[in-house]
Chains A and B, each alone.
Chain A
Amino acid sequence: MTWQRNDRELVLGRVRAAVRRGTSPSRARPPADAGGLFEVAVPPGTPLDRFLARFEELGGNARVVASSEEVAPAVVGIARELGAERAALWETPAMRALGVRAALNAAGVVAWSPTDGGDARQAMAEAAVGVTGVDAVLADTATLILGTDGTRPRGVSLLPPVHVAVIPEERILATLAEWLAEARAAGAMPSAYTFVSGPSRTADIELTLTVGVHGPGAVYAVVVRGGGSAAQ
C-alpha cells in the first residue's frame, strides 16, 4: 500500500504548487443562495399543478387522491391495470399506515417488503411493480427524491419495470435549492439519494427516444392532497 501513500503526497504536492503558480484573478464567491437565481418559467398554478404538468410532459402517469385512505385502492388499481402478480414495497411507518401491502395481498398481488427478508434483490427483480414514498418532490422538474435505509431499498424504484411513488402534497417543493438546504440541515446523508425525473430513457439508437432501457419504463404518481398523512 505504500504506493498509494506516495501518490497522495505526490498529487497534493503538485496541486499545492500549481494552485500557487496559476493564480487567476480571484473573485468573491457569491452566496450560494443568491435570490431568485433558480427561478424558471413555470406553468401557472400551485406547486401540485406544476408538478402534474411537468410530470405528464415526461410521460409520467399521475393520480390525485383526496385522502390517505384512497392511496391503497389507487395503488391496487394500478397493479390490476398492469396485470401485476408481484410487487415490491418500501416499508416506512407512513407506508405501513397506508395499508398498501395488505391491500395488494388481498387483491392477489404477492407483495414483498424488507421485513419479509429472503433474497431481497431477487424479490425486487421479479416484481412487476415497485411502490415507494418520497423524501420530497421538485415541482418544476417533476423530480422525485428518494432516500434509502433499511425500510427503503434502492432497488424498489429501480428493478421493477414500473415504479409507483406515493407523494404527500406538502412534500412538493419548488426548487432543488430548497431541498438541498433541508438535506444539509438534516445532517448525515444516507448512502444514497436518488432523483427520478420520469421513466428511464435513451436516444442512443438514431436519436429515437425509447423508455425503459434499464430502469422502469413507466412511472406513476399517487398524490395525496394536503392534510392526508401519507408516505415519506
Chain B
Amino acid sequence: MKASGFTGPREFPRASERALHDVGLQTALQRATTRFRDGRTAAIAEVPHWEELRQQAKAVKEDVLAHLDDYLEQLERSVTAAGGRVHWAADGESARRIILGIAREHGVKLVVKSKSMTSEEIDLDEALERAGIEPVETDLGEFIVQISGERPSHILAPAIHKTKEDVAALFERRLGAPYTELVEELTRTARGHLREKFLAADMGISGANFAVAETGTIVVVENEGNARMSTTLPPVHVALMGIEKVLPRLDDLATFLALLPRSASGQRMSSYVSLITGPRRAADVDGPRELHLVIMDNARSRMLGDPELRESLQCIRCGACLNVCPVYQRAGGHAYGWVYSGPIGAVITPQLRGVEEAGELPFASSLCGACLEACPVAIDLPRMLLALRQRVVQQERAAGAPRWWERWALAGWARAMSSARLYAVGARAARLASFRGRTGGRIHRLPGPFRGWTESRDFPPLAGESFREWWRAHRGGDTEHEA
C-alpha cells in the first residue's frame, strides 16, 4: 500500500478484474447503485422542469468559469467583510502548509473533519498525522474506512464495500465496543465515540459544496449532522474549496439545491444544509471564533484553460454518473485507484495526476452515454473521455511507447461490461474457457491483441477469462489461436 492508501489508477485493469470476482462486493455495488439510481429517478420525476434546471445550472457554471477570476476576488472580499480569512493555495502542498500553519498557530491536537473529496485529493489526513495532529473523519462511512485503514469506495456511501459484520468486528477491535450486527447499535457506538471528539476538537475542517461570491457564504450539504458539528463546535473552522466551487449569487442556490440532493441520494433536500457566512459574531452564543477559507487551484486552472476539458470543472460531485455507469457498477470505486471514480473520475484523474499515471482510465468506459444523461449539470463526459483517449494515444506514440492495443482491449472489455447480452454470452463461454489456456492456475498468454498485455502482466485465471469471454462473444470465434 502506498502512503496514501490508494492503489493508483494504473492498477485499474487488475483492480477491476479483482472486483468483478468479489461476490460480496458485486452484491454491495449492485444494491447501492440500484438504490441510488431508483431514488434519483423517483425524485426527478416530481420536477417538471428538470431539463430546464440542468440547463440553468450549466449556464450558471459556464458564467462562473468564464469570469472565474472576478468571482474569486469577489468571494475573497465578501468572506473578508464577514470576518473570515481567505488563503490561496496554488497546489496541494501549499494548501497543506496553510492548514498546518493555522493548526500550529492554535496549538491544535485534534481535528474533526467532515467529508471532503478535496481534502482527500491532497492527502490532508496524512499531512496532519505527520505533524502530530489527530484527524478524525466524522461522516460515519468515512470514519469506518478511516479506522480500517482504507479509502472510500463511493462518493455517497464511502463504506459500501463493507458488511455490517465487517463493521461490527472493526468497532470491536478498534473501539472496544461489544460485537453486534445491529446497524442501529453500531451507529450509536459511532455517535458516542465521535460526539466526544466533536466536543474536544480544536479545529474543524470541512469542504464546501458551494461558495457564494456576493455574500461570502460557504454552503455545506450533508445528512448526518457531522458537518454541522465540525463547523459549529471547534473554535476554528477551516473550509477547503477548489476554485471551481464558487457561485455568483445567493439565488443560484435555488437551482443547485434543487439538483444536488435529488441527483445524489434521491432526496428532495438533504437533512442539513449549512450556509456559513463568517465566524461567530460578537453576540453569538456558539460557532467558531475563526473562519478560514482555503481556495485551492491544484491543476484546476489548467483544466480551465483547456477548451476541450474545461467542462469538467462544472461538476458538483453528486455521484449520479457513478451510479448509472455500467463500468463503475462492476468495478467499484477502489478500482479507479484514486479519490475520484466513475466517469467523472476517468475524466479528471488524468488531468490531475497526468496521463502517465492515469492514462488507462479514459478507456475504462463503454461510452454508453448514461453519465451525460444523468448529470445534473449536463456535463458531456463521453465527449471528454474520447478527447482524452486521443491525447493518451498521441502522447504515448510520440514517446515511442505505444500501448494502444492494451488500451483498446480495455475499452472493449468496458463495452462488454456494459452489455447484459455480451455478458451472459461471456459467462457461458467462461465455463468452457476455464478448461483451456491455463497452466498452473495462471493464464500466461492471451490471444491476438491481448498478448501485449499478458506479456507485461501476470493474469489471475478468472481475470483472463473475462477478457476471453468478451473476445469470444465479440468475434464469435475460437480464442486459442495465435494471431
Contacts and interface: CB of A to CB of B under 8 A. Distances in A.
Contact of B183 (A26, A114, A158, A205): A205
A4 B88 contact: yes
Given A140-B268, A214-B225, A24 B62 contact: yes
B269 interface: yes
A204 B273 contact: no
A86 B101 CA distance: 40
A66 interface: no
Contact of B297 (A11, A41, A206): A11
A95 to B, nearest CB: 14
Interface stretch (B42-50, B126-134, B392-400): B42-50
A218 to B, nearest CB: 13
A214 B59 contact: no
Contacts of A189: 82, 215, 217, 275, 277
B117 interface: no
A125 interface: yes
B310 A15 contact: no
A95 B286 CA distance: 19
B46 A41 contact: yes
Contacts of A152: 285
A150 interface: yes
A32 B249 CA distance: 9
Given A176-B258, A180-B254, A214 B224 contact: yes
A16 B48 CA distance: 38
B83 to A, nearest CB: 8
Interface in A29-63: 29-30, 32-34, 36-41, 54
Interface string A147-180: 0111011110010000000000000000111001
Contacts of A213: 140, 187, 190-191, 224-226
Nearest to A117: B285
Contacts of B342: none
- Residue from the set B254, B255, B305 with the largest chain A CB neighbour count within 10 Å: B254
Given A196-B271, A203-B157, A204-B140, A18 B254 contact: no
A155 B286 contact: yes
B287 A177 contact: no
A38 B254 contact: yes
Contacts of B297: 10-11, 14-15
A153 B252 CA distance: 27
B201 to A, nearest CB: 12
Contacts of A114: 285
Contact of A191 (B167, B252, B279): B279
Contacts of B311: 24
B251 A26 contact: no
Given A38-B258, A204-B140, A214-B138, A18 B305 contact: yes
B85 to A, nearest CB: 10
B412 interface: no
Interface residues of A, number: 83
Interface in B181-212: 183-184, 186-187, 190-191, 194-195, 198-199
A204 B159 contact: yes
Give chain B's interface residue range (CB within 8 Å of chain A): 35 or more
B300 to A, nearest CB: 9
A18 B59 contact: no
A128 to B, nearest CB: 15
A14 B233 contact: no
B186 A205 contact: yes
B278 A201 contact: no
A14 B297 CA distance: 9
Contact of A26 (B66, B158, B270, B280): B66
A205 B140 CA distance: 8
B467 to A, nearest CB: 32
A39 B258 CA distance: 10
A37 B232 contact: no
A37 B251 contact: no
B31 interface: yes
Given A15-B68, A19-B68, A189-B275, A153 B97 contact: no
Interface in B264-290: 267-281, 283-287
Given A7-B89, A191-B276, A214-B225, A19 B60 contact: no
- Residue from the set B32, B60, B232 with the largest chain A CB neighbour count within 10 Å: B232
B229 A158 contact: yes
A184 B277 CA distance: 13
A152 B89 CA distance: 35
A228 interface: no
A204 B59 contact: no
Nearest to A208: B183
Contacts of A22: 65, 304-307, 310
Given A143-B269, A150-B284, A183-B250, A16 B69 contact: yes
B4 to A, nearest CB: 22
A105 B276 CA distance: 33
A76 B271 CA distance: 26
Contacts of A148: 284-287
A204 to B, nearest CB: 4
A197 B269 contact: yes
B94 A194 contact: no
B339 to A, nearest CB: 18
B49 A192 contact: no
B368 interface: no
B56 A204 contact: no
B141 to A, nearest CB: 4
Given A189-B82, A200-B223, A200-B271, A177 B254 contact: yes
B285 A153 contact: yes
Contacts of A212: 187, 191
A59 to B, nearest CB: 10
Nearest to A16: B69
A163 B157 CA distance: 26
Interface of A: 3-4, 7-8, 10-12, 14-19, 21-24, 26-30, 32-34, 36-41, 54, 114, 120-121, 124-125, 138, 140-143, 148-150, 152-155, 158, 175-177, 180-181, 183-184, 189-208, 210, 212-216
> Lowest 3 CB-CB distances: which A-B pairs, in order?
A215-B225, A18-B305, A204-B141
Given A24-B66, A197-B269, 15 more contacts: A7-B89, A18-B68, A22-B65, A26-B66, A38-B254, A39-B48, A120-B286, A121-B233, A158-B232, A181-B251, A197-B267, A206-B183, A214-B191, A214-B229, A215-B271
